[in-house]
Structure 1
Amino acid sequence: MPTEPLLDRFVNHDVGLPPHRFAGLVAPAIDRVFVAGMLAGRDGGGAELSQRYGGPAATGLLVEFRTRLAAPGGVIDGSGFAAVTRYRNPAVTRRNLDKHVAHGTVVRRPDGGFTATERGADFLAEIYQVHAEVTEELWAGHDDRVARLVEAAGRLLAYALLRADEPDAEPAPAFAAMAPPYEPEGLAPGVQLLNRLGALRYHRADAHAAAWTAAGHTVTSVAELPLGLPERRAIEQETDRRAAGPYTALTAQERLEVLADLAALPG
């Protein structure tokens, strides 16, 4: 019997709520839950923790890139840094990195990337703990939902990471910089969910960049397109198509359940 292609193990061919439609529906739901968790972290001790280490100028990039930098030896390379920050002024971004270096929380690399110092790693360990505490409180009483979403997000990331290694895969530099998220043993389910959703957002961010690039736009020109303009709608539809791949890892019923679970989480 022929061996089943590895990617086919993830794929379900149900036609209800097809992956490209689901990609457009689930994106704002993921955004809502992720932002709620991050804001809870800021308000639930993260801001105070940041001040102890020098404030946002010393910790902002650590928080943003925490899921890679918290890993032992974790590195953000120059191309990944540029992709994640593609919508920001490059000169401002470089100065921001310089401030972190000056505060001793990161070390710059020759390729334009960076890694956390020992002081930065200490901060990251503490921010992981803050996120564990605040997500436990924020999503209290929703343990089953959180567990289902952690499992589903894990499958989506596994598919996306596997597909990224295929010879014909489109470049996904922001996703490659941030996935897979670092998950030390015993990590709280709420932090797993928060960080896995964050990684999925970068998968869509790369799909969006590929869509507007294919349409002949630049970072500046696409930002100036009004939301209701047909050209902008076409870019969003193309983004959905390019972002749809991982969602074939879920059945149509599971896609509906993911939407329902995300909608039910407080935040």
Structure 2
Amino acid sequence: MSTTTDQLWLPGHRCAALIAPAIDRVFRAAMSAGTDAGAELRQRYGGPAAIGFLVDLRTRLAAPGGTVDAAGFAAVTRYQEPASCQRMLDKQVAYGMVVRHPDGALRATERGGAFLTELYALHAAVTATIWGGEPAARLARLVDLTGRLLAEARADGQQQPSPSAFGALAPPYEPEGTPAGVLLLNRLEVLRHHRADAHAAAWAAAGHTARSIVGLPPGPQRLAIEQETDRRAAGPYQALDPDQRVTLLADLAALPG
């Protein structure tokens, strides 16, 4: 029996559930390749203690004058111990990579910005290597579709929890001439934070904390939270028609990683 578009149609919550692991797989593979290739770059700027959170916050701090406020930083690092995060930031400030304003907002210094410029170039080279064998049309479609999702997610911002990791890191900084691989990598990261916010809202509504949800075993309560996460994360997928939802899933599945 032939498969029709109607049979392939994915409702928003189901699309969110299927897309999430596909995004994670592709994103993690690309970032792992970037970590392997970036050892010399990291050491040249002072190593892990100096780089700290710059890689995680790059989509905003790479922008001229870009900042991440204290609430947004707390959302991005919600599963980490706050005091440890602040100690790490202290080291970045001492290395001259980050400025921490009195209200807790973070901004890259000139040196931090130079690192991020080189990081974007590194990610361009890495993604060209791992995705360079893919049809250009596939990458172009993925860039277009993820751009639509981000635009819809930003327009639907009232559905996000406060503080919001997505709100802290979106829109990703995309200077003119940014290669398709970097556009896709950074858009996937910001979309991951959109889902992370939906997950945080779901477990908070169920009475959990960042600490307790990590230890929650599989079972009915965990399943209910995951289903509520899918529902809360579904909004951006309304921007895609049925064919585009299937295409997005298929194109992500086709990428190596």
Q: TM-score, normalised by structure 1?
A: 0.91
Q: Does 1:192 align with 2:183?
A: yes
| C-alpha separation in 1, matches of 2:25 and 2:83 | 30
Query: Helix, strand or coil: the match of 1:111?
Result: coil
| C-alpha separation in 1, matches of 2:160 and 2:36 | 39
| C-alpha separation in 1, matches of 2:178 and 2:211 | 39
Paired position in structure 1 for 2:151: 158
Paired position in structure 1 for 2:170: 179
Paired position in structure 1 for 2:137: 144
| C-alpha separation in 2, matches of 1:149 and 1:171 | 29
Determine if contact 2:198/2:233 at 8 Å carries over to the other structure: yes
- 1:5-44 matches, cutoff 5 A: 16-44=9-37
Determine if contact 2:71/2:163 at 8 Å carries over to the other structure: no
Change (3 A) 1:170 1:107: closer
Paired position in structure 1 for 2:3: none
| C-alpha separation in 1, matches of 2:229 and 2:151 | 20
Identity of aligned residues (%): 64
After superposing the two structures, state which structure 1 stretch, 202-211 or 215-224, moved more: 215-224
Query: Helix, strand or coil: the match of 2:156?
Result: helix
Q: Does 1:76 align with 2:68?
A: yes
Unaligned stretches of 5+ in structure 2?
1-6
- 1:38-187 matches, cutoff 5 A: 38-44=31-37, 46-142=38-134, 143-164=136-157, 166=158, 170-171=161-162, 173-187=164-178
Paired position in structure 2 for 1:202: 193
Query: Helix, strand or coil: the match of 1:115?
Result: strand
Q: Which amino acid aligns with 1:209?
A: A
Q: CA deviation at 1:141?
A: 2.2
Q: Which amino acid aligns with 1:237?
A: Q
Determine if contact 2:160/2:197 at 8 Å carries over to the other structure: no
Q: CA deviation at 1:172?
A: 5.6
Determine if contact 1:172/1:203 at 8 Å carries over to the other structure: no
Query: Helix, strand or coil: the match of 2:55?
Result: helix
Paired position in structure 2 for 1:222: 213
| C-alpha separation in 2, matches of 1:40 and 1:169 | 31
Query: Helix, strand or coil: the match of 1:112?
Result: coil
RMSD after superposition: 1.6
Q: How many residue pairs were aligned?
A: 251
**4+ residue runs of structure 1 moved beyond 4 angstroms?**
none
Determine if contact 1:132/1:191 at 8 Å carries over to the other structure: yes
Determine if contact 2:139/2:181 at 8 Å carries over to the other structure: yes
Q: Which amino acid aligns with 2:183?
A: Q
Q: CA deviation at 1:204?
A: 0.4
Q: TM-score, normalised by structure 2?
A: 0.94
Q: CA deviation at 1:113?
A: 2.4
Q: Which amino acid aligns with 1:163?
A: D
| C-alpha separation in 2, matches of 1:169 and 1:264 | 30
Paired position in structure 2 for 1:3: none
Q: Does 1:264 align with 2:254?
A: yes
Q: Which amino acid aligns with 2:210?
A: V
Q: Which amino acid aligns with 1:158?
A: A
Change (3 A) 1:262 1:15: closer
Q: CA deviation at 1:70?
A: 0.4
Determine if contact 2:120/2:182 at 8 Å carries over to the other structure: yes
